[in-house]
Structure 1
Amino acid sequence: MAVARNMRRTSPITIVLASLMAFGFLCFLFSSPSPPVSTSSTTSDSRLEDTAEHPLSPPTKPFIPQPVQNDGRHVQAPPVVKYDLNALTASSDASNKAERILILTPLARFYQGYWDNVEKLSYPHKLISLGFIIPHTKDGDAALSSLEKAIARTQTGTEQNRFASITILRQDFDPPLASQSEKERHKLKNQKARRESMSRARNSLMFTTLGPSTSWVLWLDSDIVETPNTLIQDLTSHNRPVIVPNCMQRYYNTDTKQNDIRPYDFNSWIDSSTAQALGDTLKPDEILLEGYAELPTYRTLMAYQADTKNPRPKRVIDLDGVGGTALMVKADVHRDGAMFPAFPFYHLVETEGFAKMAKRLGYSVHGLPDYFV
């Protein structure tokens, strides 16, 4: 049965209510938010001369937010900034020339000894920036929590101990190994996937944090817990594009019943004709690894070149491969394109592939067999 015409007409009350609702919605949509309330203020006396002042500031400098207007906008848009990299130095007198250092660490586990050691570095902390990349794992979450607590204590402590800036990244890809135990990390079958993943993490960290004011990049592994407090001055004093100290491991010697040290990092080496010939037999996607009996390369390993009885810490040797436990690199080497290949580069990946890439770009690579970390 058809509905009567007068029953289908819209009630005047309905029209009024609908109009009020529409008007209220438009007022809400176009109303301006209240300006944020500032809880702290920063004076020019409390900042470094070269403190960055805009949101796109390089992460190697602390950022001071600009005041905001009542409409919530910044007083000025971020300016177009020009950087004269020709004026940037990376010299043997890094401290006196106030050259900025970027310490980068892939962090799967947090070791308090690592943080304590970094805090003790005698290079001016106002010239040091730190960068970390942490995996999205249970161990990574625990490492992040411990790291944030350590950072909070340091950055709210005495001004002399505070670092210029600290950047923390989370990996956007899953780690290839479920366990980060030393036994699992060093299994031969796990090396290719593990080190390719490490390369991706290192590159993500480096490309994100390398600012135009950075002179040197120190790659420092998270389990390095003991170095001279003059580590930065000592490594930069050689004024080499790429230089790496000798990484050792403290352990209890069950034969002598005494504490002892032994070689740990076997990725710093001088190439051999045997290794080169072995590389010629490999498929394009296969890599050469050092320190495994299954792959006898007969390279000269810097780990075994140490003179522990009469060490000469300033003794320098030429290398073809490097490890990344405490690797000092001039920032220009990275800027020129030397990164950590996450693919077989002349059958090498990660830090060893980086050394090969740096040499292909015309840079020399060096090691300090008697300088221990």
Structure 2
Amino acid sequence: MASRSLRRSNPITLVLALMLVLGFMLFILTPDKSDPIPKTVTPARSRKPPAVQRYHMNTLKATASPISNQEKVIILTPLAKFYDEYWTNLLKLNYPRELVELGFIIPKGREGNLALSKLQDVVHKVQTGKKKDQFAKVTILRQDFDSPVPQNEKDRHALSAQKARRAAMSKARNSLLFSVLRPDIAWVLWLDADIIETPPTLIQDLASHDKAVIVPNCFQRYKEGGVSKIRPYDYNSWHDSNDALKMAGTMGKDDIILEGYREMATWRLLMTGEYKEHGSVHDETKLDGVGGTALLVKAEVHRDGAMFPPFPFYHLIETEGFAKMARRLGYQPYGLPNYLVYHYNE
């Protein structure tokens, strides 16, 4: 018994046991150097959080002096077909480029692909050119649906195509608007892709009236017997009539009133009929419906909820429905009967 007890307490045995325990602990606690932390990875404790952007929306204003107040404008265009004249005219607008953003939405399909290719070429040329000529930002979106009708003038203006065509246009406008309207934008200019001639001062001219919603008169140049003439084009800017209101009262909930068609005699007063050849371009008129060929809107109107209804809204749709929605929100649309912009003549 005595000899066994002495062997258990032998110093050599105790030292070996201690060395074994220490070796095991060292093995466990030593990190594996075969898989080191890459040098490009920043330890979490030293990683900085992303910067926080603050926008003081209460100080964001859209005024009658947009350039002197450095107010940002975004020009939005649903673009199903690319016209060189549209782009040439756009580049002639003399609002400071650093305050201008562009947004486009293009439909699916062969025509959309062609329009996209041409647009990308001209945008790339400008945005890689001189700094002073570059726009602050350019966004191009593609629709996830096709245009419901062909884009030639005859087919797209047929009465039977209007409800589907304008519903699709509303969806395109809303998709574009909700995707690109940033908190520091003061004005939204809706400019159709087939508007090929406007004054270079279009933005500041319209903004100078300090209206929440304002639209010029859209005409079209043409030749008759070799003589250059102009004629009305956009009939969507109008003053309502008792006849139209009575017509709406007899309609089903999904029916819409369309302006400019013999089949629907609304007897509304159209802004095209208020044009005076030598009248002042500053003349204003209150409107119940607006067209979207060149429509300037204070961004707050859209932020408050006014969009382009793709469904019958008080029997109105798209831009005319937008005007009704803006009025319901307390924003009165205005028109300029003698201030002309021109539509492409096919």
TM interval, shorter chain, is 0.7 to 0.9
Summarize the alignment of residues 65-76 of structure 1 with structure 2, pairs less than 5 Å apart. Answer: 70-71=40-41, 76=48
Residue matched to 2:74:
102
310, 314, 318: which one pairs with 1:346? 314
Summarize the alignment of residues 155-166 of structure 1 with structure 2, pairs less than 5 Å apart. Answer: 155-166=127-138
Aligned equivalents of 1:175, 1:226: Cα separation in 2: 25
**TM-score, length basis structure 2:** 0.85
2:245 paired with 1:276: yes
Q: Quote how far apart the aligned CAs of 1:104 are.
A: 0.1
> Percent of aligned positions with the same letter in both sequences?
54
Q: Which has the larger radius of gyration?
A: 2
2:282 paired with 1:311: no
160, 164, 176: which one pairs with 1:193? 164
State the AA in 1 paired with 2:323: A
- Partner secondary structure for residue 225 of structure 1: strand
Residue matched to 1:182:
153
Aligned equivalents of 2:232, 2:49: Cα separation in 1: 54
- Partner secondary structure for residue 196 of structure 2: coil
The number of equivalent residue pairs is 306
State the AA in 1 paired with 2:92: K
144, 149, 169: which one pairs with 2:141? 169
91, 110, 114: which one pairs with 1:138? 110
RMSD after superposition: 1.9
- Partner secondary structure for residue 197 of structure 2: coil
- Partner secondary structure for residue 204 of structure 2: helix
State the AA in 1 paired with 2:320: E
- Partner secondary structure for residue 144 of structure 2: coil
- Per-residue CA shift, 1:71-127, capped at 9, x if unaligned? 399964433433211010100000000000010000000111111111111110000
366, 369, 372: which one pairs with 2:334? 366
Q: Any stretches of 5+ residues in structure 1 without a counterpart? A: 1-29, 34-68
Q: Any stretches of 5+ residues in structure 2 without a counterpart? A: 1-34, 342-346
Aligned equivalents of 1:312, 1:245: Cα separation in 2: 12
- Per-residue CA shift, 1:181-209, capped at 9, x if unaligned? 00000000000000000000000000001
2:171 paired with 1:203: no
Residue matched to 1:266:
235
- Partner secondary structure for residue 190 of structure 2: strand
Q: Quote how far apart the aligned CAs of 1:320 are.
A: 0.2
- Per-residue CA shift, 1:138-190, capped at 9, x if unaligned? 1110000000110011111221111000000000122211x110000000000
Residue matched to 2:325:
357
Residue matched to 1:88:
60
- Per-residue CA shift, 1:312-358, capped at 9, x if unaligned? 10000000000000000000000000000010000000000000000
Q: Quote how far apart the aligned CAs of 1:252 are.
A: 1.3
**TM-score, length basis structure 1:** 0.79
Structure 1 runs of 4+ with >6 Å offset? 30-33, 72-75
91, 101, 112: which one pairs with 1:129? 101
- Partner secondary structure for residue 202 of structure 1: helix
Aligned equivalents of 1:31, 1:290: Cα separation in 2: 72
